[in-house]
Chains A and B, each alone.
Chain A
Amino acid sequence: MFPEAAMPMPPHANMPDPAAFAEPALLRVENLSIGFAGTAANVVDSVSFSIAAGKTLCLVGESGCGKSVTSLAIMGLLPPKSTRIPSGRAEFDGRDLLHLPRAELETIRGDRLAMIFQEPMTSLNPSFTVGDQIAEAVRRHRKVSHEAARERALEMFRRVRIPSPEQRLREYPYQLSGGMRQRVMIAMALANDPQLLIADEPTTALDVTIQAQILELMRELQRETGTSMLLITHDLGVVAETADMVAVMYAGHIVESGPVEAIFRDPQHPYTIGLMGSMPSLGARTGRLATIRGSVPPPQAMPAGCRFSTRCPFADDRCRREVPPFVLGADGHGAACFKAPLEIHIEGKAG
């Protein structure tokens, strides 16, 4: 905790954020670093991104890349005793969420800023009816009567297309299926018309036909309400179907970000390319899948240079020594790699 304070900032701090030059941002995260007690390396390191009003940003990456920790930090949900935030701002609606007094944060949270999690069963209280829980969420932030809050809950149930909503309101979480519970979570999150919804793997625990329903519902609701969304997922299919902007995370860094079309059609970073190549295609079979060798380095053994260098087939001495800066292109698409674009750096040398 104390020695880090004296350490110099990494040279790649302050990645520019692509959405910045398009529209004014609703949420602007700058240079966010997060560490856990007991490990020197930050689990999230100098991460910057922003989300414009009404848009969806997908944070995509594999387990341990820091995508969930990033969202928890924004919501102020990290345990303060075991985490440190050595640098960063998360500006939302003109206020820095990371340095807000507790009381003020609690007024924003669940109101202007809402969150849904992967497992709706553990996020709902098992001993209250779902109707009571939504009504409570409304009354926590609005001075309304019980009846009005109940009425709002019913209205929300209709909006998330829960069949026989009057009856469902009186049920307990265990009486609902996984898909219904996630609808309840969405209804609760949207009950106070938040400006930003953070969704952490909202469909991962669901079956594919139910996932399709929930993704469609989230898209429709976003069209109706204009809520911005920060969607955290490991599934590139979900990214392609929901995102306006994408940020790819690896081992606590954003290695590539940009508009969704650019990320899928013109990926730059070897990690993004490896990740896409490892996905089995739904088209005709193509033989062996591309793989990314090895696994993610643990925080206590984080490489000094590019964090992907231990697994990258193109890494050289420089990659292992220096952290590559994030280079942003004119189209808002950028990557943090010395070798990007590969066809010029690698082929040029080989040929």
Chain B
Amino acid sequence: MTAEAPILETRDIVKHFGGGTGLAAGPLVHAVDPISLSVNRGETFAIVGESGCGKSTLARLLLRLIEPTSGQVYYEGQDLTALTPTQMRKLRAEMQFIFQDPFSSLNPRMKVRTLVEEPLLVHTRLSARERRTRVDELLRQVGLRPEYADRYPHEFSGGQRQRIGIARALASGPKLLIGDEPVSALDVSVRAQIINLLDELKGAFGLTLVIISHDLAVIRHMSDRVAVMYLGQIVETAPVESLFERPLHPYTQALIQAIPVPAPGARDPGDRKLRGDIPSPVAPPPGCRFHTRCPHAVEICHQKEPFLEAAGEGRFVACHRWSELPHRGLTGKVGAALTPGAERRFALYRERSAADAGGSP
């Protein structure tokens, strides 16, 4: 996994919005500023951050759905930013996007069959009959009945609509799937179905996943490596276990300590020192962008911008003081201590629901 060339890589990619002159005048927004990352083949790479940190912009840059202000994106060694539109369109079969909102990302006037068939028309030379068979197969793979193919999106629940979105993304036979908050709009029980589905599909099709999320529990469950973003920059990247057990950047620590834990009394009230709001990306603070909220900030943090540096075990962190700070991760319990009866009940529930579902509903 390490020796192989990464499937996806960015070099100093930057995206600014606005900042025009004359009629187009507006404030310059530093959405992504600059970022270098690489995604290994077959892994699930997560990008986490709060609203306005630039994670959705980054996701769109990775597939060149929007043009970068500067910098490059390499997919399988090819510089996407240098490709012509025709070359890019061909390559899109291999890289697909899953959107957050299954309600607005499907055309309400198209039947499910047409929606899932569309990428086949664009990217394959299958005959009408072959396409029909393929659509049925894709629907089954995402846990929908092929009989549903003649219905419209509004006839489906949120979870089913997200399955349709996934079937559509899979249709062109991609190697890389990028999901922008793919489960955030869903209810807890449905969210679990989609998380399991993405895990299964990843195994079955040998996919590489990039998941953008603000939900640390989802990221903990799904990903292999994580990049933490703050105000347009990556502040830390690490394998998921070490990130949660020993977060190096003060922002990562604050994020992890802010998660409400589903166990009464588990939280130490001394946690959560983070004060204040996220500054505007129009005027990011000088020096370290996190210094305005950081409990550990000193003089140098106000003046000098820290860059990502290697921190061992495949980790990188952008903080002047990371090596001298305490690395508080998840403290205390992460779940309630169950009674023996409840332990049995959870086990029974799992057994029984696996037995009578036999996979997806």
Contacts and interface: CB of A to CB of B under 8 A. Distances in A.
A282 B349 contact: no
A206 B338 CA distance: 30
Contacts of B188: 62, 234, 236, 275, 278-279
A155 to B, nearest CB: 21
Q: Which residue among B218, B276, B349, B352 has the maximum number of chain A CB atoms within 10 Å of its CB? A: B349
Given A208-B255, A280-B195, A238 B350 contact: no
B265 to A, nearest CB: 8
Interface in B313-361: 330, 334-339, 341-342, 344-346, 348-350, 352-353, 355-357, 361
Contacts of A266: 338-339, 341-342
A264 B330 CA distance: 19
Contacts of B339: 265-266
A285 B220 contact: yes
B104 to A, nearest CB: 17
Chain B interface mostly helix, strand, loop or mixed?
A: helix
A293 to B, nearest CB: 4
Contacts of A267: 342, 345
Contacts of A281: 217, 220-221, 334-335
Contacts of A180: 277
B262 A264 contact: yes
Given A240-B264, A265-B342, A267-B342, A295 B349 contact: no
Nearest to A290: B350
Interface string B152-189: 00000101100000000000000000000000000111
A290 B330 CA distance: 23
A284 B334 CA distance: 10
B261 interface: yes
B352 A240 contact: no
A274 B334 CA distance: 18
A282 B341 contact: no
B272 A212 contact: yes
Contact of B189 (A208, A213, A238, A274): A274
A276 interface: yes
Nearest to B336: A264
B192 A278 contact: yes
Nearest to B200: A288
Nearest to B277: A177
A285 B353 CA distance: 20
B312 interface: no
Interface residues of A, number: 60
B91 interface: no
A289 B192 contact: yes
B221 A280 contact: yes
A211 B277 contact: no
Contacts of A211: 258, 260
A291 B360 CA distance: 9
Contacts of A260: 264
A241 B193 contact: no
Interface in A289-345: 289-295, 313-314, 341-343
Contacts of A209: 50, 254-255, 258, 272, 274
B300 interface: no
B94 interface: no
Nearest to A242: B260
B199 A238 contact: no
Given A209-B255, A210-B277, A277-B349, 12 more contacts: A210-B50, A239-B262, A273-B345, A274-B353, A280-B217, A285-B220, A291-B196, A293-B353, A293-B361, A313-B352, A313-B357, A343-B345
Interface of A: 62-63, 163, 177, 179-180, 207-213, 215-216, 234-241, 243, 260-261, 264-268, 270, 273-285, 288-295, 313-314, 341-343, 346-347
28 contacts: A62-B187, A177-B278, A180-B277, A208-B214, A212-B260, A215-B260, A234-B188, A240-B264, A241-B264, A264-B263, A267-B342, A270-B349, A274-B349, A277-B192, A278-B188, A282-B220, A282-B244, A282-B261, A282-B334, A283-B335, A285-B220, A289-B195, A290-B350, A291-B189, A313-B355, A314-B352, A342-B345, A342-B349
